[in-house]
Amino acid sequence: MDSAAAALDRLATIASSAPVARLAAAFEQAGHELALVGGPVRDAFLSRTALDLDLTTDARPDRILEIVTPISSARWDVGRAFGTIGALVAGEKVEITTYRSDAYEPESRKPEVRFGDTLEEDLVRRDFTVNAMALRVPGRVLVDPTGGIDDLLARRLRTPQTPETSFSDDPLRMLRAARFAAQLGFSVEEDTRAAMERLAERLEIVSAERVREELSRLVLSGTPRPGLELLVGTGIADRILPELPALRLTVDLEHRHKDVYEHSLTVLEQSIELERERGHEPDLVLRLAALLHDVGKPATRRFERGGAVTFHHHDVVGAKLVRKRLRALRYDNDTIARVAELVELHQRFFGYTEGVWTDSAVRRYVRDAGDQLERLHILTRADVTTRNRRKAERLASAYDDLERRIGELAEQEQLEAVRPDLDGERIMAILGIRPGPDVGRAYRFLLELRLDEGPLGEDEATRRLLDWWGTQLPAPGRDG
């Protein structure tokens, strides 16, 4: 964290920027207050680049819209019910929100919006003190009624009011505590953490969609482990993602199996590192798959003679559990399918180290991964967390070899688009049949040939198809 003087210089730069300066002048002329609030102010003290321009005012939403219309090139009011108006000012997106406080009624799943009249009142009702600072504009007066600067210096998350009041007003703030702990590297103040444990059940009134969005932001942060550990440690994960704490298998000194929970967090961390090394943006599908790839282990754990521990078919069981949990969190169908597919595929590679795969096996690996092959590469490499250096090097070398062979076959055969040598139209023409189940059976036969032997060419594929057709029993509805 830089000095207060340096932070104030950065805030002054933001306040003098074209969009903020224009808004400040317009609101002052209209007789209303305006202040930069929350993230931009906090990030100025942390030497972080503010991604959003958030402002707050005593003006009500309709009045905000009247004031910003003459100085903006576009406006949106999808948040009007919550007091927020968005606009494009001097080429930048801004959001201006009426002073407010959100509160849940005991049985409500949505916050009740209450507009306020003073900046100080608005700040006191925010989630954490480090987000409860504002810079009045155009006067550039810093307002910090709850000790946010002190908490920034201490790298501490604390609620402006009592944690019970804050978390009862909006239980989602408990999830935000985990996200900010991850994003900012801050610790949660002891009373605040204790309240998270006591009030975890309060999250049950929050909609699954809001929980999902907060969880996704946490998983997509630079270092999600501290936030996830906070959720597990406070019992919150038991209510929103119970499969994660369930991975904390009982330590058994006799059988000496590894801690699957710690392993999963490490796989997530290593996936993020590989994601960056390979030049990818943060990938929610990959990260959810990394975090949840072993959730089938508790249900499939078996102790064998001689002390071995097995988890047979945990990949298949895990994929089913992932689909169920992500549906409950209201993730979209594509995300659910892709995460579950990666979970089901994550063990495929480990047979590669037991013997050299045939070209057919390599083709099937690529075919099954489809457009998720790069994700599967990262997940599989990240899944190696052994402390045995020789074993880790052997597995890394084996996967290097697999990727090399995939590259060679892809160059030779356009592997990423494996299809039979004959399409459905040609199959029907060659066999003299109409659309129906027989076309699908013939297509699958040719696809298996393609995977086993590589490209055959049209003439050879036709000969093999006719030979196969002659061995087939008539399908129902087809004359023999």
Q: Judge whether residue 313 has pLDDT over 90.
A: no
DSSP track, 151-210 = HHHHTEE--SS-HHHHHHH-TTHHHHHHHHHHHH-PEEPHHHHHHHHHHGGGGGGS-HHH
Q: Which CATH class is domain 1-154?
A: alpha beta
376 and 346 Cβ atoms separated by less than 8 Å = yes
Mean pLDDT of 242-269: 77
Mean pLDDT of 370-386: 92
With a pLDDT cut of 90, the percent of the chain lying above it is 58
Residues 297, 300, 301, CA angle at the centre, nearest 5°? Answer: 80
Q: Judge whether residue 160 has pLDDT over 90.
A: yes
- What pLDDT was estimated at residue 253? 39
Rounded distance between C-alpha atoms, residue 90 and residue 17, angstroms: 9
Q: Judge whether residue 379 has pLDDT over 90.
A: yes
Q: Judge whether residue 218 has pLDDT over 50.
A: yes
* 249-417 fold: Hypothetical protein af1432 (1.10.3210)
Phi/psi for 85 (5° steps) reads -120, 130
- What pLDDT was estimated at residue 474? 61
pLDDT band at 317 (very low <50, low <70, confident <90, very high): very high
Q: What's the sign of the alpha-carbon dihedral 359, 363, 369, 372?
A: positive
How buried is residue 64: exposed, middle or buried, by Cβ count under 10 Å (0-12/13-18/19+)?
buried
Rounded distance between C-alpha atoms, residue 449 and residue 418, angstroms: 11
Q: What's the sign of the alpha-carbon dihedral 252, 258, 264, 266?
A: positive
Greater confidence (256 vs 41) lies with: 41
- Close Cβ partners of 345 (under 8 Å, ≥ 6 residues apart): 315, 368, 369, 372, 376
140 sits in the region (left: phi over 0; alpha: psi -120 to 50; else beta) called: left
List 96's β-bridge partners, or say none.
Answer: 55, 85
Tokens standing for 250? 């009982």
- Close Cβ partners of 189 (under 8 Å, ≥ 6 residues apart): 151, 156, 157, 158
Tokens standing for 301? 């754990």
- Close Cβ partners of 5 (under 8 Å, ≥ 6 residues apart): none
Mean pLDDT of 157-181: 94
- What pLDDT was estimated at residue 473? 66
- What pLDDT was estimated at residue 241? 97
Q: Judge whether residue 441 has pLDDT over 90.
A: no
- Rounded to two decimals, the pTM is 0.81
Q: How far apart are the first and last CA of the chain?
A: 82
Mean pLDDT of 238-262: 75
Q: Judge whether residue 395 has pLDDT over 80.
A: yes
pLDDT band at 306 (very low <50, low <70, confident <90, very high): confident
Greater confidence (403 vs 255) lies with: 403
Q: Judge whether residue 116 has pLDDT over 70.
A: yes
298 and 246 Cβ atoms separated by less than 8 Å = yes
Q: Judge whether residue 43 has pLDDT over 50.
A: yes
- What pLDDT was estimated at residue 376? 94
Q: What is the largest CA-CA distance in the chain?
A: 91
Mean pLDDT of 157-171: 93
Q: Judge whether residue 114 has pLDDT over 70.
A: yes
The 3-state DSSP composition of the chain as helix, strand, coil percent (nearest 5) reads 60, 10, 30
pLDDT in tens, 49-85: 777 899 999 999 999 999 999 999 999 988 888 899 9
Residue 336 to residues 175, 327, 329, 415, Cα–Cα distance (Å): 21, 7, 10, 26
| Report for 284-288, 312-316, 425-429, 460-464: range of highest mean pLDDT | 284-288
- What pLDDT was estimated at residue 105? 65
CATH 1.10.10.10 applies to domain 155-240: no
- What pLDDT was estimated at residue 454? 78
- What pLDDT was estimated at residue 243? 96
Greater confidence (173 vs 391) lies with: 173
- What pLDDT was estimated at residue 110? 64
Closest CA to 412 of 347, 348, 363: 363
pLDDT band at 301 (very low <50, low <70, confident <90, very high): confident
Q: Judge whether residue 100 has pLDDT over 90.
A: no
pLDDT band at 255 (very low <50, low <70, confident <90, very high): very low
Rounded distance between C-alpha atoms, residue 224 and residue 275, angstroms: 14
- What pLDDT was estimated at residue 412? 66
- What pLDDT was estimated at residue 295? 95
Q: Judge whether residue 250 has pLDDT over 50.
A: no
H helices of 278-313, where? Answer: 284-292, 297-300
pLDDT band at 3 (very low <50, low <70, confident <90, very high): low
For residue 138, whether the previous peptide bond is cis, meaning omega lies within 30 degrees of 0, is yes
H helices of 293-423, where? Answer: 297-300, 314-328, 333-345, 359-369, 373-382, 389-413
Rounded distance between C-alpha atoms, residue 178 and residue 218, angstroms: 7
Mean pLDDT of 162-178: 94
| Report for 195-199, 296-300, 437-441: range of highest mean pLDDT | 195-199
Beta strands in 70-146 (DSSP E): 74-76, 84-89, 92-98, 100-103, 112-115, 134-136, 141-143
Rounded distance between C-alpha atoms, residue 110 and residue 32, angstroms: 29
Q: Where are the domains of the chain?
A: 1-154, 155-240, 249-417, 424-469
- What pLDDT was estimated at residue 192? 97
30 and 67 Cβ atoms separated by less than 8 Å = yes
